[in-house]
Amino acid sequence: MADLKGRVALVTGGSRGVGRGIATRLAADGATVALNYRRDEAAADEVVAAITAAGGTAVGYRAAVDDADAVAAMVAAIERDLGTVDLLVSNAGTASRGTSIADTGPEEYMRLLRVHTLGPLELVRLLLPGMRTRARSDVVVISSSIVGETPPGGAPYTMAKAALEAAARTLAREERRHGVRVNIVAPGLVATDMGSRLAAAAAGRTIEELDPSYPFGRVARPDDVAGVVAFLASTDADYLTGQRIQVDAGGPDSTLL
C-alpha cells in the first residue's frame, strides 16, 4: 500500500462505484479524503462513515462538477477544513444517451463536455496555485477504454473523454516544472451501477453473466482501478507523468462489450 500520510485528496464522484473504491483506497493508504458528490448525500455519508470506521479521515462535499460557482465554493471549503489539496482524482462523470451522430444535437455534446472536460479543467485551474506550493502534487483523470474503441452511439461520451485526455497530457507538460504529475487511468467495463446498465443495454447480460468471458474470469472491479490510482500517487511513480494506463486486462475475450 502507498504511504499517503499528510496528503489531502479530492475525489470527485466519490459516493459510489469507481469513485467510492478510489476514495476508500486512498484513505486506507493514509490520505485525508475530500469526497465530492453531486446529489446523493446519503451515499456520500455512507462512504465517509465506512472510511472513518476503518480509521481513516474523510469529509463529504456537495457540488456538481459542471457548476462553476458550486465548485469554487467547494474548493474554498476544503481548503478551510482540510488544507491544500495535493491529489486530485477527477472521476465524476455521466453517461451519454446512446444515440447515433445522425440523431444527436449539439446540446448533448456540450452536456458531456461540461461534465467530463470543462468542469474538471476549471477545478484543476482553481487547485493549481495550491498544488504548486507542495513538494509533490498529482492529478489523476479517470477516462475510459471507450476512447480507443469508439463504439456506435457513443460519440458524445467518447469525444468528451478524448478531450479530457488531450488536456491532461498538455497539463502534464505544463506543470511538471512545478512538481505536479498528471496521469490518465482508462478503465474498461467495471462492475458498478453504471457498468451494469451498460452491460444490460449493450449485451443484454448482467455483469455476473459476462464475468466468465473476461480475462482472469471476471469484469474489472472498482478496487482494480483504485489500486492503479494509488500507485500513480505513490513514490513508486515519482518519475511518471503524462501516462495513460488502461485497466481492462488487455481487453475482453468477448466482443459484446
Name the phi and psi angles at 237, rounded to 5.
Answer: -110, 25
Q: Please confirm, yes or no, whether 239 is among the known catalytic residues.
A: no
Catalytic residue among 37, 61, 109, 157: 157
d(CA 34, CA 19): 12
Longest CA–CA separation in the chain, Å: 52
The b/e string for 141-157 (b: 16+ C-beta within 10 A; e otherwise) is bbbbbbbeeeeebbbbb
d(CA 17, CA 178): 32
- DSSP tag of 185: E
Which residues have C-beta within 8 Å of that of residue 61, sequence separation ≥ 6? 34, 35, 36, 37, 74, 77, 78
CB 126 within 8 A of CB 76: no
CA 91 vs CA 73, 116, 225, 241: distances in Å: 19, 9, 11, 18
Residue 174 amino acid letter: E
Which residues have C-beta within 8 Å of that of residue 55, sequence separation ≥ 6? none
CB 205 within 8 A of CB 240: no
d(CA 156, CA 12): 20
Q: How many residues does the chain have?
A: 257
State the catalytic residues: 157
